[in-house]
Amino acid sequence: MLAELKGLNEECGLFGIWGHPDAAQITYYGLHSLQHRGQEAAGMVLAKDGKLTGMKGEGLVTEVFTAEKMKNLSGNAAIGHVRYTTAGGGGYENVQPFLFNFQNEAMALAHNGNIVNANQLKAQLEAQGSIFHSTSDTEVLAHLIRKGGFSDLKSRVTNGLSSLKGAYAFLIMTETEMLVALDPNGLRPLSLGILGGAYVIASETCAFDIVGAEFVRDIEPGELLIINDEGMTSERFVMSSQRAMCTMEYIYFSRPDSNISGINVHTARKNLGKQLAVEKLIEADVVTGVPDSGNSVAIGYAEASGIPYEMGLIKNRYVGRTFIQPSQSLREQGVRMKLSAVRGVVDGKRVVMVDDSIVRGTTCKRIVTMLKEAGAREVHVLISSPPIKNPCFYGIDTSSREELIASENSVEEIREIIGADSLTFLSVEGMVEAIGRPFEGENRGQCLACFTGNYPTEIYTNEQSTTIIS
């Protein structure tokens, strides 16, 4: 059951805007800038003349929202979503935003993250007569909101959120207002901007730059924003909150031009590279990064070590991320489609190859082989994160424990498997220091669970809701 849920709602991107006549177009550009957060499906719901209308589909933003279709889309407010899924969780009914037309109200909902007690809540709701339309954990909140015995939407949302455990950034829209909520650990990034008189919400700040919006601030953990034509109000829906920002957002997931809690992602990655040079100096001729996230790290390592940075690997822009391909064999084929080694750069050289993380080890092994086939004399692999030994329950696809190469193998064994001349992972302390996320203040912490096994929330492993770590 957990596997089923985990596959559903991973690594998504959210964009919302309230109070702009070009809401549809702006949301299109916003979603496009967040495309790296999910390439499987996209959708938006628009509010216009007191009505909600939605459009969604499977594929990239440009595939779902063709020029022809965009002509018919307009509104003063919108929420949008880009979605990533692993095998089993696809299907049109799971594409967001969800749009519910009830007898007395309409409501749209979009979610980034993963609700860890969704199965338990779903079972309770079904026992009380709720009928689910999707297999997504996100729909649970819609039912909780409907069930709430309070009249106004804000109270019903607050009440619904109080039952949820895990990671969530929610955008909720009705004909008259937009609600924005972030879980009490603030596991996923979510920011507020303004564009003229309009409020803009996005998973990453890069979306603000693309649409010309001005960054205002990050949404706080446990915060609920209510935005309508009168303006914006902010509330807390939990008594206590403790930020545990996903470290993988810095390491791998976010775009280099985004800032998370005021820290630029490219700069953080470059510092991770410098820290790698502090922890491991290698005698080599060139440093090359595995695009895209490894490039910034490689630049930092080259700067600190004095070994020249070169483009030893080139990415084919027009192939989606390797992880999207569900089966192992497809994934292996995908790497070749996606990356090429530059023979002229690596032939006869001792190469330092820098990447952000090792999950299953498959991609890494293929790239090492590729570099050697292109003539590299030695390939030294540097990874800008510690070994990923524990699964993520919060919406990043680090797969089940058995699939994680570092959960079963030592660093030396992994080196052997991937065929590298040496392999170095960054230390947890080094990583935290390099990213520079200040720990002072209750809202500054970060999640390290996939490295340390120390989860910031309860996690539920089966239907009996056994809490194994809290």
Residues comprising the binding site for [4Fe-4S] cluster? Answer: 246, 392, 447, 450
Q: How far is the CB of 374 from ligand 5GP (least distance, A)?
A: 18
Spatial distance between the Cα atoms of 371 and 379, rounded to a whole number of angstroms: 7
Q: Pattern of binders to ligand SF4 over 47-86, x per CB under 6 A?
A: ----------------------------------------
Query: How far, in Å, CA of 112 to CA of 180, rounded?
Result: 12
User: x/- contact string, 265-304, with Mg ion (CB under 5 A)?
Assistant: -------------------------x--------------
Token output for 454: 């120390």
396 binds ligand SF4 (CB under 6 A): yes
Among residues 39 and 191, whose Cβ is nearest to ligand 5GP?
39
Q: Which of 382, 392, 414, 459 binds ligand SF4 (CB under 6 A)?
A: 392
Q: Which of 215, 218, 180, 173 is nearest to 195 (CA)?
A: 215
Distances (CA, A) of 353 to 269, 308, 410: 15, 12, 20
Q: C-beta of 135: minimal distance to ligand 5GP in Å? A: 20
Identify the residue among 360, 403, 407, 411 touching ligand 5GP (CB under 6 A). Answer: 360
- 206's contact among ligand SF4, ligand 5GP, Mg ion, none, with CB below 5 to 8 A by partner kind, is none
CB of 52 to ligand 5GP, least distance (A): 32
Q: What is the DSSP string of 89-132?
A: S-SGGG-SSEEEE-SS-EEEEEEEEEETTHHHHHHHHHHTT---
Provide, rounded to whole angstroms, the least separation between the CB of residue 355 and Mg ion.
5
d(CA 96, CA 33): 17
Q: Would you count residue 187 as binding ligand SF4 (CB under 6 A)?
A: yes
Mapped onto helix, strand or coil, the DSSP state of residue 199 is strand
Cα–Cα distances (Å) from 19 to 16, 119, 227, in that order, read 10, 36, 9
As a dihedral over the C-alpha atoms of residue 69, residue 72, residue 77, residue 80, rounded to 10 degrees, the angle is: -10
Angle at the Cα of 269 (from 266 to 270), degrees rounded to 5? 85
Q: Is 450 in the site for ligand SF4 (CB under 6 A)?
A: yes
Strand partners, 171: 110, 180
- Binding-site positions for Mg(2+) read 293, 355-356
Q: Segment near ligand SF4 (CB under 6 A), from 140-148, 224-232, 305-313, 393-401?
A: 393-401
Task: Give dist(CA 134, CA 375) in Å, integer.
Answer: 50
Q: Rounded to the nearest whole angstrom, what is the least distance from the CB of residue 302 to Mg ion in the complex? A: 18
Find the binder of ligand 5GP among 86, 295, 357, 424 (CB under 6 A): 357
Q: Which of residues 264-293 bind ligand 5GP (CB under 6 A)?
A: 290, 293
Q: Which does 358 bind (CB under 5 to 8 A by kind): ligand 5GP, ligand SF4, Mg ion, none?
A: ligand 5GP
Q: Do residues 178 and 16 lie in contact, with contact meaning Cβ atoms separated by under 8 Å?
A: yes
Distance in angstroms (rounded) separating the CA atoms of residues 145 and 224:
14
Site string for ligand 5GP, 235-254 (x = CB under 6 A): -------------x---x--
Interaction residues for ligand SF4, span 235-254 (CB under 6 A): 246-248
Say whether residue 425 binds ligand SF4 (CB under 6 A). no
Selected binder of ligand 5GP within 173, 356, 434, 459 (CB under 6 A): 356
| Active site annotation includes 12 | yes
Cβ distance 396 to 246 under 8 Å? Answer: yes
Q: Which of 8, 12, 181, 299 is catalytic?
A: 12
Q: What angle in degrees, to the nearest 10, is found between the helix axes of 293-305 and 265-279? A: 50
398 near ligand SF4, judged by CB under 6 A? yes
Which residues, other chains included, contact 72 with Cβ-Cβ below 8 Å and sequence gap of 6+?
A: none
Instruction: Select the span of 51-59, 127-135, 388-396, 417-425 touching ligand SF4 (CB under 6 A).
Output: 388-396
Centre a 10 Å sphere on the Cβ of residue 383 and count the other Cβ atoms it contains: 27
Segment interacting with ligand SF4 (CB under 6 A) among 325-333, 340-348, 350-358, 391-399: 391-399
Write down the least CB distance from residue 292 to Mg ion, Å: 7
- Find the Cα–Cα–Cα–Cα dihedral 133, 136, 141, 146, rounded to 10°: 0
In angstroms, the CA 436 to CA 380 distance is 26
CA distances from 228 to 141, 156, 177, 390 (A): 21, 17, 5, 41
Q: Which residues are catalytic?
A: 12
Instruction: Report the interface residues with ligand SF4, using CB under 6 A.
Output: 187, 246-248, 392, 394, 396, 398, 447-450
